[in-house]
Structure 1
Amino acid sequence: MAFLSYTALILSATAFLILHLAIKKCLVTRSYHIQNAQRRCNPPPYIPGWGITRLLDAMKASREDRMPQYVVSLLDSVGPSVHTIDARMLTDKLTVTRDPANVEAIFAGQAADFDIGPNRENSFKPLLGVGVTTARGEKWKHGRALLRPQFSREQISDLGVEERHVRAMLEVLEGKVAGDDGWTGGFDLQPILSHLTHKVAIEMLYGEGVNVSGDVTSGEFSRHLDAGKSWLYERMMMGKFGWLFGSSAFRGHCKAVHAFVDGIVETRTRSGDFKLNEKEEVVSGKNFVFLDELSKHTQDPLELRNETLHVLSASWDTTAALIGWVFYFLARNTQVHRKLRAEIETAFADGITFANLRDCHYLNDTINEAFRCAGVIPVIERMTTRDTTLPQGGGATGQDSIYLPKDSRVLISTYGMQMRSDIWGNDPEGFSPERWFGRKAGYEFVPFAGGPRKCIGRNFALISANGDTC
């Protein structure tokens, strides 16, 4: 009898939960339609399909390094002139857009209505902690204010560290010469570029000579960080269920990364004797160390670890990928290569400086074109902070505004915008730096995002890419 009562209780509770969810869904749907009518909005095209199926497809595309193309294929499946859609990922509705008008609204006109969501913090926290790329509200403002002075023109214009490591890389390449003609044989350049950007970033962040901290070497640290980051992207794709995605291997990568950075932080802060809020002018010829500068503003070892890891994570592999793509395109476009080489030989006859890097226009056009074609940062995600709208994408013509309730996820397909023929010409997949002549990019080209959360290290990343290409 007791067993039957217990079973009846479970069935009743289940039925009540199902009824509650059904009523809630009806109320949310009703509110959505009312808001659409009041705001004179219309929804964008919806791609039907089970959320779990789309998640598995997205994960498969990510592991096969074709995520940018996968997102574009979702949009193109509705029509090449459709630039905003709704789709479902697990239990969440996801709005995907490649419309510059919507991007401008998100980053500029209605920037207060959009921010990163809690998914990013929850996904990244086990490896990187809470830092400037995941924090929101006052925590983000504090982190941004802490980091901004470290990316001043005076700090990033010193190319000494970059030049030293580039020369070391060239010595490695010289050792690969295969024959008497002076040319190298075939080899994989990407690991060498990754090693280069890793060494530069480590020295800029933590100081010269950093190689071993505790039982973890610099090389092992980079391997653990890279492996750990591969888990973060899939945790992000799972949205609010990302916390379920982990393993003992992932936890091991996190532990090794933390041990390496904590050892450096403890050693440098103990030996540096930095005074909080100490003001010091930049000394010419003095190597800039990011950790030392942060230590003047905070002595919290967890904050120092998190903020330096966030900067490293955002800069290291993306810079290596961009430089690798530049060489990939140059190797396949000999005319561009010859033109760029001639400009570099003339512009840098007396050496490479911050000023002449910025004035080397064809080099900058080449970097931008590689960024555009490769889609190094192919998507940017935002979440609505309140009920709001996007200006385009709704209705039969795609010209109506779109209503987005609070906590809606929006995925900006930057790669999708960069492949639009109506914006970039009839051959958007072709590599042509000339398309940038006299062009001032707007919201159709936002590889570093925009608005209040625009990448704080943008200029540093571009200077590194330009300098390494030279």
Structure 2
Amino acid sequence: MALLFVLVFLAFALPLLWVKYLSAWQAKKRYNVERTRRSCQDPPQLSNRDPFGLLRLIEALKAGREERMPQYVASLIDQPGPGVHTVQAKLLSDKMTVTRDPQNVEAIFTTQAQDFDIGPARLECFRPLLGLGLTTVTGEAWKHSRALLRPQFSREQISDLDLEERHIQDLMKVLDVRDNGWTEKVDLQPLFSNLTHDTVTELLYGQSIGSQKHARRPSAPYESLSKQSDEASEFGHHLESGKSWLYERMVLGRLGWLFSSTKFYNHCKEVHKYVDNFVYARIQQGEADKTEITSKGKFVLLNELAKHTHNSVQLRNETLHVLSASWDTTSALLGWLFYFLARNPRVFDKLRNIILTDFISGIDFRQLNNCRYLQHCINETFRVAAIIPVIERVCTRDTTLPQGGGPNGRSSIFLPKNSRVLISTYGMQHRADIWGSDAADFRPERWEEEKNGGGWDFVPFAGGPRKCIGQQFALTEASYTVVRLLQRFDGIENMEPPGPIKFHHALTNSSGTGVQVRLHEAK
């Protein structure tokens, strides 16, 4: 019986293996022909310790769970030796190209943008939580989403500083000051998460969920605020937990759909239920109430989108995509900025003195943009922390990248259709040959220098057609928050024990240890 089983297995398995071998042989032959025809050369190939790239997958997942994913991806490029900025590695059945070369980044985002887009794996990985929307679809569907959302983010209402001030006041109330003028030890990261959550939900849905008002006073361990029983914190917990699943699903690429569980789908269900409450309420108001709502002068993205569609699923998905991106990016930016300020008192003092001078008579949008040192501090935070540490694109057709091939890395690279390309923004923004020997240091003054990055070597909001449409909103909110906090507080102390920097990665990076500080109130 055992022999019969073996014979039957071989009868089915051998033809399949033969077909797979022939397919791989034909693909390799076509690859070699195209590479030669286009005068391309291969970049360094990372050694495969197993034929299926399984160990590299385990390494990547382990790095994420140990909160060192940005460094891990950059270390892959370092393996062949100095001067290498593009490599190819095998991850499961995929051969990926990993690059930190600004010329390749420029090609992907602009000069050859038609050859690169997000791949189908992202849609399948993100669909359960975020659905079809701006960051998951391509082609005509993407153009439709972009056409719906982009005009709204060019409006003046997006820079509503009165909206920001209301939620800054809620933040200020949580930061209690003792008799000696200092706050107790406080983790700013969850407070910034509450701030951006409250602000963006009011912008999107017309009312804030008020998560800051439920924050524990005056301090709480990292992530503990997201586990409170109130509705707002529960929503934040489900969204953050769901996005952590998305990260690991994306690492698996085309097999990401295998990484699922009832826990993940429960997170998705709770997120949808929460957002649907806003969407259904807006739809039920009907056309008769629309004029009254919009005539009050308060910008609400859901109201604007509802002028174009009453499809509840589309309204949920589009606003959820904006909520997810806006919440994470801005709160992580603020967290990292104060993380670095607490470790660089010279920068804190210089920035505060400039703020007190530049904003003595009030704050407006133009002043925020024109405060150069503030913008330099924000840029340096993006550069060092790499809040979006990796950007993935997939080739929509056979194409090339301009650099990385051959012994000197100057030859072009051939990429077949459906190839995965990872841009290591962290690796690129830490290159000593671009940013100087102190590239690992937080030094905002480097942005005052005539030639020191700032082109395609610095892409915090990506670039090209898919550049983040909420960039200005995120920068305005972050700038305003920094100004208001430094107007109130004249000192900051790091309260975290020494240790390596940790990157808590759930699509965006935040500090894995939080932002443990205490603040001194100015007299």
Aligning the two structures, in what range does the TM-score lie when normalised by the shorter sequence?
over 0.9
Which one-letter code corresponds to 1:356 in the other structure? Q
Which one-letter code corresponds to 1:227 in the other structure? S
Count of aligned pairs between the two proteins: 461
Counterpart secondary structure, 1:357? helix
Counterpart secondary structure, 1:273? helix
Q: Is the 8 A contact 1:72 1:413 kept in 2?
A: yes
Which one-letter code corresponds to 1:146 in the other structure? L
Q: Is the 8 A contact 1:155 1:282 kept in 2?
A: no
Pick from 350, 353, 356 the counterpart of residue 367 of structure 2. Answer: 356
After superposition, residues 109-258 of structure 1 pair within 5 angstroms as 109-173=111-175, 175=176, 177-178=177-178, 180-210=179-209, 217-258=231-272
Which one-letter code corresponds to 2:60 in the other structure? A
Please give the alpha-carbon distance, in whole angstroms, between the structure 1 residues aligned to 2:480 and 2:210.
24
Shift of 1:11: 2.1
Please give the alpha-carbon distance, in whole angstroms, between the structure 2 residues aligned to 1:155 and 1:417.
35
The sequence identity of aligned pairs, in percent, is 56
Counterpart secondary structure, 1:398? coil
Pick from 393, 400, 412 the counterpart of residue 423 of structure 2. Answer: 412
Partner of 1:400 in structure 2? 411
Which one-letter code corresponds to 1:249 in the other structure? K
After superposition, residues 12-411 of structure 1 pair within 5 angstroms as 12-49=11-48, 50=50, 51-173=53-175, 175=176, 177-178=177-178, 180-210=179-209, 217-271=231-285, 273=287, 286-411=297-422
* Range that drifts further, 152-161 or 96-105: 152-161
Pick from 468, 472, 488 the counterpart of residue 455 of structure 1. Answer: 468
Residues 272 and 281 from structure 1, CA distance in 2 versus in 1: closer, same or farther, beyond 3 angstroms?
closer
Q: Is the 8 A contact 2:199 2:208 kept in 1?
A: no
Please give the alpha-carbon distance, in whole angstroms, between the structure 2 residues aligned to 1:221 and 1:366.
31
Residues 341 and 27 from structure 1, CA distance in 2 versus in 1: closer, same or farther, beyond 3 angstroms?
same
Scaled by the length of structure 1, the TM-score of the pair is 0.94
**Deviations for 1:36-95, whole angstroms, at most 9, x for unmatched residues?**
111111110011223111111111111222111001111112123100000011110000
Which one-letter code corresponds to 1:124 in the other structure? F
Which one-letter code corresponds to 2:382 in the other structure? F
Partner of 2:458 in structure 1? 445
Partner of 2:496 in structure 1? none
Residues 367 and 254 from structure 1, CA distance in 2 versus in 1: closer, same or farther, beyond 3 angstroms?
same
Which one-letter code corresponds to 2:47 in the other structure? P
Please give the alpha-carbon distance, in whole angstroms, between the structure 1 residues aligned to 2:208 and 2:153.
22
Shift of 1:192: 0.9
Which one-letter code corresponds to 1:317 in the other structure? D
Gaps of 5+ in 2: 212-228, 484-523
* Poorly superposed stretches of 4+, deviation over 3 Å: 3-10, 209-212, 280-283
Shift of 1:209: 4.8
**Deviations for 1:176-198, whole angstroms, at most 9, x for unmatched residues?**
x24x3201122211111111111
Please give the alpha-carbon distance, in whole angstroms, between the structure 2 residues aligned to 1:107 and 1:281.
39
Shift of 1:411: 0.1
Counterpart secondary structure, 1:412? strand
Shift of 1:4: 7.9
Residues 295 and 333 from structure 1, CA distance in 2 versus in 1: closer, same or farther, beyond 3 angstroms?
same
Shift of 1:288: 1.4
Please give the alpha-carbon distance, in whole angstroms, between the structure 2 residues aligned to 1:170 and 1:211.
14
TM-align CA RMSD = 2.1
Which one-letter code corresponds to 1:450 in the other structure? G
Residues 363 and 282 from structure 1, CA distance in 2 versus in 1: closer, same or farther, beyond 3 angstroms?
farther
Q: Is the 8 A contact 1:216 1:260 kept in 2?
A: no
Q: Is the 8 A contact 2:249 2:257 kept in 1?
A: yes
